[in-house]
A and B are shown apart, each in its own frame.
Chain A
Amino acid sequence: MNCSITARIGAAAFLGASLLALTAAEAAKLTVWCWDPNFNVAIMKEAGDRYAKTHPDFKLDIVDFAKIDVEQKLQTGLASGVADGMPDIVLIEDYGAQKYLQSFPGAFAPLSDKVDYKGFAPYKVQLATLDGKVYSMPFDSGVTGFYYRKDYLAAAGYKPEDVQNLTWDKYLEIGKAIEAKTGKKMLALDPNDAGYVRIIMQSAGSWYFDKDGNANITGNAGLKAALDVEAKIMKANIYKPVAGWNNWVGAFTSGDVASVFTGVWITGTVKSQADQAGKWGVAPLPKLDLPGAVAASNLGGSSWYVLSASKAKDEAIDFLNDVYAKDIDFYQKILVERGAVGSLLAARTGTAYSSNDAFFGGEPIWQNFSKWLSEVPSVNYGVFTNEVDSAIAANLPSLGKGASVDDVLKAVDAQVKTQIQ
């Protein structure tokens, strides 16, 4: 019996020792947090390899979590003031930029002394500017385009030229014609996601907030027009209802719907269906009939930020500047390999951007996207985009059931008011 007691005590001691071993720390390098292994993770790795050619000691440790998890970890770390374990560089989605810059003052390092921002798309620089300083290294753009099936369009009696200068009314008309002739819906729509509203609203140069960051809901012509388009699409029943990303992607890659308007990052997904080569075209976004509205907008996109608490802050900034603000060849490579459209306007002079795409019937799609990129209106994403967006999304189903746009705006306004005190 004593023997077994000894054994038990021994086991306990062993466990205690292994517990101590758990606290051992690991070596330091330049740490980056981002979220998509096939996209920004892979691209950051490429950037690191390029920089390492001229800086042999340079080491990058890229840690990937889900996007929402990166935000959550960043927020927990900043809120608790624990610099320990925080990365040197972090990727932040553009919609959230001001929220982080304003609620955690001093947490991020301004880059405007080192980086020449004149080369980037203006709206990308604007969204990361606070009190005259720019904090981000602009990364991928979500410049939008209207992707459509040429074969369905032809079946309905339209030619590609007919969709180059679309208005939303004409868009609805084509949608109805396509359904009548082919039985296919025009687009897939997730009534739980306000992405389309954001796209159309930004094309009019509007956002949920005015230039000073105050909520601008009931008197917002751009937002109203966007909801109006969404309501008309729902009323005309030219959409296939979907839920979630997966389902949405499935709708247009399987040929269930005739078109999709969204950010340029979808190009790779569209092209993944090799058997549909030559059947797709990309046109500019349909245009709103409002003063100042353009046929270009944005959905999503993200930028790199350097944390001020980083021990290797200068090195991190130098690295980002060297690759992301100067290396045209880098942008060609990530375009070809990852389908990433950066925000550096000069990138369009490279070979990859100049080539025509056979999948899209030889259209110069990258030149087109670069042109639209420079036209995207700058808006103030403010600090409460997620709050308002969630309120809009929550009210889309009632819009589909016939509620008037004004009533929806009022409901959203009421919900948002308490949220953003």
Chain B
Amino acid sequence: MTSVSSGAQRKRFDVNGWLFVGPALVLIATFMIVPILHSLWMSFQQGRGMNLTFGGFANFAKLWNDPLFLTALTNTSVFFVVQVPIMLALALVMAALLNDPNLRCRGLFRTAIFLPCVTSLVAYSVLFKSMFVTDGIVNSTLMTVGLIGEPIPWMTDPFWFKVMVIVAITWRWTGYNMIFYLAAMQNIDRSIYEAARIDGVPTAARFAFLTVPMLKPVILFTIVTSTIGTLQLFDEVANLSSGAAAGGAAGPSNAALTLSLYIYNLTFRFMPSFGYAALVSYVIVFLVAVLSFLQFYVARERD
């Protein structure tokens, strides 16, 4: 970093620094921090709609006894534990394959695999719903190929519904993560690989012992962003499980009820309880904070 000697220079340095970050700070303070504090205040309030009163820790007691909250927490954990590793492993493997300079059609593959993340949510949910219906294209293809004998009840069975959600999220976000890995891999000095190759280190071992450790900062970055994304999972589950008439569950047996979807329901579909909804959102903040801390901690320890 730049060395600063005299006081005048120091001052110039400081003033400039604040001018650069100032606009962003003002905007974030206004449109993030103020609403966050407001909702924190709301999380201590109780009541229906506009009739809010201060309830102290009453919302906490409700949270403790709420079976739906437990369902939402469990589902969110399942999506997190199953989906994030699958997606990141897939992204990593594909990035490694695409990083081979001798591979033909690299650009084509890269573009195709990245493409899903440009679709709009609305288009994507309409598409997936129409593809995964019982007599839809996915089942008929799987049956033609001979992978399954009976159509899979994607939309009506709690287990398969979760599988479908995982497939959908993985479809949309794998390419996005892959681009980060690919970019990082292209920064790795090729000579290291050459040396390892000449020493007779096999491909798999080069990947595991050279590539992965050097990518650690990027992998950590994608793990943290995917953690945040999965714990806040809303768009996909809300749209894939909608379409039923009034009421209805969030997927069969609430299989797709995530914490964010529960917050949404508490705010808009159920009797509006804004205070309680705000509290549930701070559960997400808490979980993300703990998990991110753990992830950084694990990563740091091995340094």
Please report which residues of chain B, range 1-59, place their CB below 8 angstroms from some CB of chain A when the two chains form the complex. Answer: 48-51
> Are A386 and B252 neighbours in the complex by a CB distance under 8 Å?
no
Alpha-carbon distance between A193 and B246 when the two chains are bound, in angstroms: 8
Q: A75-B267, A103-B271, A243-B134 are in contact. Are A193 and B248 (CB under 8 A)?
A: yes
B interface size (C-beta, 8 A) = 41
Q: Decide if A390 touches B156 in the complex (CB within 8 Å).
A: no
Contacts A103-B51, A384-B271, A415-B67 given; 11 further ones with Cβ under 8 A? A71-B268, A95-B247, A192-B241, A192-B249, A192-B251, A242-B133, A247-B134, A385-B247, A389-B247, A393-B244, A397-B158
Measured between beta carbons, the chain B residues less than 8 angstroms from A339 are none
Instruction: Collect the chain A residues with CB atoms within 8 Å of residue B134's CB.
Output: 241-243, 247
Binary B-proximity of A235-246 (CB < 8 A = 1, otherwise 0): 000000111111
Whether B271 lies near A191 (C-beta < 8 A) is no
Cβ-closest chain A residue relative to B257: A394
Residues from chain B with a CB closer than 8 A to the CB of A194 are 247-248
The closest CB in chain A to the CB of B154 belongs to A243
Are the C-beta atoms of A79 and B272 separated by less than 8 Å?
A: yes
Q: How far is the CA of A163 from the CA of B253 in the complex (A)?
A: 33
Residues of B within 8 A of A75 (CB): 267-268, 272
What A residues does B270 contact at CB under 8 A?
384, 386-387, 390, 419
Answer yes or no: A278 CB below 8 A from chain B CBs.
Answer: no
Select which of B49, B67, B242, B247 is within 8 A of A104 by beta carbon.
B49
With A93-B246, A393-B247 known to touch, is A420 a contact of B156 (CB < 8 Å)? no
B44-79 vs A, CB cutoff 8 Å, 1 = contact: the mask equals 000011110000000000100111100000000000
What is the interface of chain A, defined by CB distance below 8 A to chain B?
68, 71-72, 75-76, 78-79, 81, 93, 95-96, 99, 102-105, 190-195, 241-247, 299-300, 383-390, 392-395, 397-398, 414-415, 418-421
Residues of B within 8 A of A (CB): 48-51, 62, 65-68, 129-130, 133-134, 153-158, 241-254, 265, 267-272, 274
Q: CA separation between A81 and B67, bound complex, in Å?
A: 31
Q: Give the nearest-CB partner of A245 in chain B.
A: B243
Given contacts A103-B49, A419-B66, contact A385 B246 (CB under 8 A): yes
B269 touches A394 (CB 8 A): no
**A244: which of B48, B68, B244, B268 is its contact (CB, 8 Å)?**
B244
Residues B246 and A191 in contact, CB atoms below 8 Å apart: no
Q: Smallest Cβ distance from B273 to chain A, in angstroms?
A: 9
Some 5 contacts from A to B, beta carbons below 8 A apart, are: A192-B244, A243-B155, A247-B134, A387-B270, A387-B271
Q: Flag if B62 contacts A418 (CB, 8 Å).
A: yes
Flag if B50 contacts A247 (CB, 8 Å): no
Report the minimal beta-carbon distance from B235 to chain A, rounded to whole angstroms.
14
Q: Which residue of A lies closest to B66 (CB)?
A: A418
How far does the alpha carbon of A81 sit from the alpha carbon of B272 in the complex, in Å?
14
Q: What separation, in Å, do the CA atoms of A222 and B83 have in the docked complex?
A: 42
> Among A244, A393, A418, which residue has its beta carbon within 8 angstroms of that of B243?
A244
In the bound complex, what is the Cα–Cα distance between A245 and B243 (angstroms)?
Answer: 6
CB distance from A156 to the nearest CB of B (A): 24
**Neighbouring A residues of B157 by C-beta, 8 Å:** 397
In contact, A300 and B155 (Cβ under 8 angstroms): no
Q: Which of B50, B154, B249 has the most CB atoms of chain A within a 10 A radius of its CB?
A: B249
A195 is contacted by which of B158, B245, B250 (Cβ under 8 Å)?
B245
Residue B67 contacts which of A93, A244, A299, A414 (CB distance < 8 angstroms)? A414
Q: Is the CB of A71 within 8 A of B269?
A: yes
Give every chain A residue within 8 A of B250 (Cβ-Cβ).
390
Q: How far is the CB of B281 from chain A (nearest CB, A)?
A: 15
Q: Which residues of B contact A390 (CB under 8 A)?
A: 247-250, 254, 265, 269-270
